[in-house]
């Protein structure tokens, strides 16, 4: 079975531009979460979606938005990019949204803002 797949793997953008990151969860998984991992730190929660509805949002500005599609894949959008948005963006999928459920992560998208 395919794991969590993210695209693209690497991306270079200029300040002020916008970016769209994509994630396909493990087959059968209905929940997708997005995390930002800045170099040298642990991942920080951005969003969780379950059954196409937003279930949670982390402490990120409104420039960050996301959605989940009927096939449970997801997009993370970031507008008006700042240098500080440079990070590894991780997508995680899980069967459900519950506290018992482990999350499985993709390889991430490395975003560099110049």
Partner 1 sequence: AQSVAQPEDQVNVAEGNPLTVKCTYSVSGNPYLFWYVQYPNRGLQFLLKYITGDNLVKGSYGFEAEFNKSQTSFHLKKPSALVSDSALYFCAVRDLGGSSNTGKLIFGQGTTLQVKP
Contact flag: residue 59 with partner 1 (CB under 8 A): no
Least distance in angstroms from the C-beta of 113 to partner 1: 18
Q: Which DSSP string corresponds to 14-80?
A: -TT--EEEEEEPPTT--EEEEEEE-TTS--EEEEEEETTEEEEE-S--TTEEEEE-TTS-EEEEE-S
Least distance in angstroms from the C-beta of 16 to partner 1: 27
Q: Please identify, among the stretches 14-22, 50-58, 68-76, 77-85, the one whose residues bind partner 1 according to the rule CB under 8 A.
A: 50-58
Separation of alpha carbons 7 and 20, rounded Å: 9
Return the residue of 43, 74, 81, 85 that touches partner 1, per CB under 8 A. 43
Contact flag: residue 21 with partner 1 (CB under 8 A): no
Which of 88, 80, 76, 86 has the alpha carbon at shortest distance from 113?
86
Return the residue of 28, 42, 70, 84 that touches partner 1, per CB under 8 A. 42
Contact flag: residue 33 with partner 1 (CB under 8 A): yes
């Amino acid at each position: 079975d395919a794991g969590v797949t993210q695209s693209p793997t690497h991306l270079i953008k200029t300040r002020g531009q916008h970016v769209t990151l994509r994630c396909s969860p493990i087959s059968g998984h209905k929940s997708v979460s997005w995390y930002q991992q800045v170099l040298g730190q642990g991942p920080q929660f951005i969003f969780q979606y379950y059954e196409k509805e937003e279930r949670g949002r982390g402490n990120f500005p409104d420039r960050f938005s996301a959605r989940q599609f009927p096939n449970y894949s997801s997009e993370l959008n970031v507008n008006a990019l700042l240098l500080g948005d440079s990070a590894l963006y991780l997508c995680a999928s899980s069967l459900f949204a519950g506290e018992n459920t482990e999350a499985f992560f993709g390889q991430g998208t490395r975003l560099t803002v110049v």
